[in-house]
Structure 1
């Protein structure tokens, strides 16, 4: 069971790292290419298309981690060994926020991009995009909380 916990913590850490890398390192480079390549290289719309591709790949990682997390927490609950309600609740939040990001926000953004650059400048798009950012932040807080909680419980 200890090795499964190590894998679990590693997966949570990897997911958080991928999310931070996408938001803090990749997005600024993709959305501000003129800092590195000069003016006129990519439009904001083209940068958004590239960033969406990064997020589509990230979605695979975070979806897998959310699934693993809820399976782990349900198994722990069923075995009544190392059960922790807060960990289960955080895992549930991870599944919900990941599901929202994967199956609600990402398809909306992809669809808007397929309709063209004009569609990505609407108020509806801006609102959905901002909501997706908040959902991602909530996901990361839940992942961090679960990582800390499970790390602390594994030391007992």
Structure 2
């Protein structure tokens, strides 16, 4: 294996690790952290944490997650376009899935998160309105779709990379000769 092949494999491994980190962070924040934060009152009733307070805490977690997602979106653009350009038989579908992931990341981080922050700044009463509920529901749905698109991209890229990697040599077994009488 030459140095260029090793470098390409290292870059691909780092890329997959980054996508995997995003997927893991999204699962943890949505499936583990959010239920605890939004039920904080049941764990710490003496603190008097309201649903509004929980929302503010959860938004701060998503702001931090947005840094990772935005960085990843930029890396996806660079990596996938360079792979697409250098591949003899590029995958249009995978490129489309990655473009969708990029759009969803920026929509979540640059539209929905600021809109939720703005609503929270208007006070607890505004976060109880149907308008806020609608935007919050939309952001949750977008987040789930993003998780699916990143997961598909992750698995698809692994499959494509495994097809390109050198296969192990087969161990041949001696053939048994038929005995003729």
Partner of 1:2: 9
Runs of 4+ in 1 over 4 A off after TM superposition: none
Q: Which runs of 5+ in 1 are unaligned?
A: none
Partner of 2:77: 70
Q: Name the SS of the counterpart of 1:117 in structure 2.
A: coil
Q: Which residue among 152, 160, 165 is the counterpart of 1:153?
A: 160
Q: Name the SS of the counterpart of 2:125 in structure 1.
A: helix
* Partner Cα distance (1:82, 1:109) in 2: 42
CA contact (8 A) 1:30 1:50 kept: yes
Q: Which residue among 118, 127, 132 is the counterpart of 2:134?
A: 127
Structural mapping, 1:67-146, within 5 Å: 67-80=74-87, 83-146=90-153
Give the structure, 1 or 2, with the largest relative contact order (CA under 8 Å, sep 6 or more). Answer: 1
Asked if 1:37 corresponds to 2:25, the answer is no
Task: Give per-residue Cα distances to partners, 1:1-25, cap 9 Å, x unaligned.
Answer: 1111111111111001101111111
**Number of equivalenced pairs:** 156
Deviation, 1:34, is 2.6
CA contact (8 A) 1:12 1:147 kept: yes
Partner of 2:30: 23
Find the structure with the greater CA-based Rg. 2
CA contact (8 A) 2:76 2:98 kept: yes
TM-score by length of structure 1 reads 0.95
CA contact (8 A) 2:37 2:58 kept: yes
Deviation, 1:56, is 0.2
* Partner Cα distance (2:70, 2:89) in 1: 24
* Partner Cα distance (1:40, 1:82) in 2: 59
C-alpha root-mean-square deviation of aligned residues, in Å?
1.3
Q: Which runs of 5+ in 2 are unaligned?
A: 1-7, 164-181
